[in-house]
Amino acid sequence: MATLLLNADMGESFGPWTMGQDEAVMPFVDLANVACGFHAADPDTMRRTVALAKAHGVRVGAHPAYPDLVGFGRRSLAVSPAEVENLVLYQLGALDAICRTEGTQVHYVKPHGALYNDMMQNEAILAAVMRALAAFNPGLPLMLMATANPEPAQALANEHGVPLWFEAFADRAYDAAGFLVPRSRPGAVHHAPEVIVEQARRIATGEPLVTIDGNPLRLIAHTLCVHGDNPESIAAVAAIRRMLDGPA
């Protein structure tokens, strides 16, 4: 069984609107990807989330996105690599201030939504994100998608001196190249807890997954993304935690 760190997107509420069930999920994860205000969150939400993570001994990561509150950061925007670098730096600075106030720090960065997907498809965007991390804090890890061929991303990271944490998903379907199936396609998101836990087990043990087209896919990952926005998914997160921890 590989040592996989569980990560979850956190702090995505906004003002009076609640998104997710952070208090129920936080006890089960190792890493909290905290929204930085561009796709979700506000200063109060950010501070509450960082304090909650610290209380549970969970490491805080920045979850920067395109400036798209209306679309929850899931729409690609026509921005230049220089703008990507600056918007990542802006959001890192905001979360860093909150973390310092709460006596913790930003431990890593995981871009959100369309920015995450775009950097996996566009080397110029990925390089811009890496430049932001290297400028902000040399050695700050970048979390990105584990795919069938991680070598190009690793080579670019080596150029910029950025450590990589490859991530896999327990509740998402994959295509043959190791990319996530778009949410617009049927079957892109797994909902059954037993299916989610089984996919997590396969990733942790190095067994191949079955892609949406029925092909085998082996992923090497450092961390596993889980979601907990309803009672069923929270039960799956708890089951994954027990599976990874093994017998008491």
Q: Which tokens is 98 given? A: 């909150």
CATH topology for 5-245 is TIM Barrel (3.20.20)
pLDDT score of 228: 78
pLDDT score of 43: 98
Which of 194, 195, 149, 150 is closest to 172 using CA atoms? 195
- CA–CA distances in Å: residue 124 to residues 74, 84, 88, 202: 19, 10, 14, 32
pLDDT score of 124: 98
Query: What does the alpha-carbon distance between residue 46 and residue 6 come to, in Å, rounded to a whole number?
Result: 20
pLDDT score of 52: 98
Query: What does the alpha-carbon distance between residue 15 and residue 13 come to, in Å, rounded to a whole number?
Result: 7
pLDDT score of 2: 59
pLDDT score of 3: 83
Report the 10 Å Cβ neighbour count for 122: 14
Contact by Cβ (8 Å): 69, 14: yes
The contacts found for 67-72 with CB under 8 angstroms, 24 or more apart, are: 67/38, 67/39, 68/38, 68/39, 68/113, 68/114, 69/14, 69/38, 69/39, 69/40, 71/39, 72/39, 72/40, 72/113
Instruction: Return the H-helix or E-strand segment holding 195.
Output: helix 193-205
pLDDT score of 165: 98
Q: Which tokens is 110 given? A: 């995981």
What does each of the 248 residues of the chain score in pLDDT, given as a tens digit? 558 999 999 999 999 999 999 999 999 999 999 999 999 999 999 999 999 999 999 999 999 999 999 999 999 999 999 999 999 999 999 999 999 999 999 999 999 999 999 999 999 999 999 999 999 999 999 999 999 999 999 999 999 999 999 999 999 999 988 999 988 899 999 888 899 999 999 999 999 999 999 999 999 899 999 987 777 788 899 999 999 988 65
Instruction: Please name the residues in contact with 57: beta carbons below 8 A apart, sequence gap of 6 or more.
Output: none
